[in-house]
Amino acid sequence: MITTCPPDHDWLALATKDLAGPREETLLAHRLTCARCQERCRQLEANTEAYLRGFARHQSALAERLTPRRPSRRRWALIAAPVTVAAALAIVVLRPTPLVEAPADLRTKGSARAPENVQLRAWITRNGQTQPLEGSRRLRPHDQLSFDLTTAEDGFLSIFSIGPDSQVQPLYPSSAPTEAPDPMFIPAGRTRLPDALEWTPNTPATRLVIVYANQRFSRPHAHDKLRAALHAGRTPLHSVLGPEFIVRVFTERGARP
């Protein structure tokens, strides 16, 4: 028999069956005589039941987080159609460390720093041939732009487009943030984003904003912040998503709508 209440950790261990033998018996004996511990156990039981009621939802959300998502080609193609390729790219990161490797034809706007552990490359596919995007190259209808990202650690990515009317639209991994509120999981190493953006003859000039962070962020939240920044007359150059974010914007020289 123990006279003082056991540490709360023991009740958790008892509930998860990590406690056995004499210690378990001692705890149970104490509970019989202690109103406070009886209340604590009732609380633990109630919280357990509450969690288990939504367990299928929790388990499914967890499985989704653990499995990198690859959006379907069909959806990507649909959202790609109205987009003119790269006028601007932005990298948003949580930690202020240096250097994004940008294609030669992309110049930097703004003085914010980008992370050294992220390398972004843009590729252009024309007539079946894929080459790095270079400075003198002008984009033509049906050119396809694709990206790859090399990171030292796991991260998350989302892409938005900003049209000539300054409207911000979510693009990737889905054009419907309510269906996919989470950004795409990017494992450490080199990741080629699935599929490509195709430049069609009728599309207006559009800037692309690539948001990357080493922690999961909310796409709707990032969307709102970008939109607010534009409405406030600020381009998404710095501090768009809060003080912990650093943004870098690249502008593509050769692109002409």
Partner 1 sequence: MDDRIGDIEGLHRRYGPALYDRSLRMLGNAADAEDAVQETFVKAYRAWHQHRYGDSRLPWLLKINTNECLKILRTRRRKPTERLGQEEPPDAKRPLLEQQTHIRYLLAAMADRVDRKTWQIVVAHYVDGVPQQDIADRLGITRRTVVERLSKLRRLGIRGVLQVSEGDV
> Given the rule CB under 8 A, which residues bind partner 1?
5-9, 12-13, 15-18, 36, 39-40, 43-44, 47-48, 50-52, 54-55, 58-59, 61-63, 65-67, 154, 242-244
Nearer to partner 1, 67 or 111 (CB): 67
Q: How far is the CB of 13 from partner 1 (least distance, A)?
A: 6
Say which residues have a Cβ less than 8 Å from residue 229's Cβ, sequence separation at least 6: 235, 236, 240
DSSP string, 130-152: EEE--TTPPP-TT-EEEEEEEES
**Encoded amino acid at 238, one letter:** H
Q: How far is the CB of 171 from partner 1 (least distance, A)?
A: 25
Q: How far is the CB of 100 from partner 1 (least distance, A)?
A: 24
Say which residues have a Cβ less than 8 Å from residue 89's Cβ, sequence separation at least 6: 102, 106, 120, 122, 208, 209, 210, 249, 250, 252
Nearer to partner 1, 83 or 241 (CB): 241
- Bridging pattern class, strands 106-109 and 189-192: unpaired
Query: How far is it between the farthest Cα atoms of the chain?
Result: 82
Residue with tokens 């912040």: 225
Nearer to partner 1, 84 or 191 (CB): 191
Nearer to partner 1, 49 or 179 (CB): 49
Nearer to partner 1, 65 or 70 (CB): 65
170: its two tokens: 């979510």
Q: How far is the CB of 57 from partner 1 (least distance, A)?
A: 9
Q: How far is the CB of 47 from partner 1 (least distance, A)?
A: 4
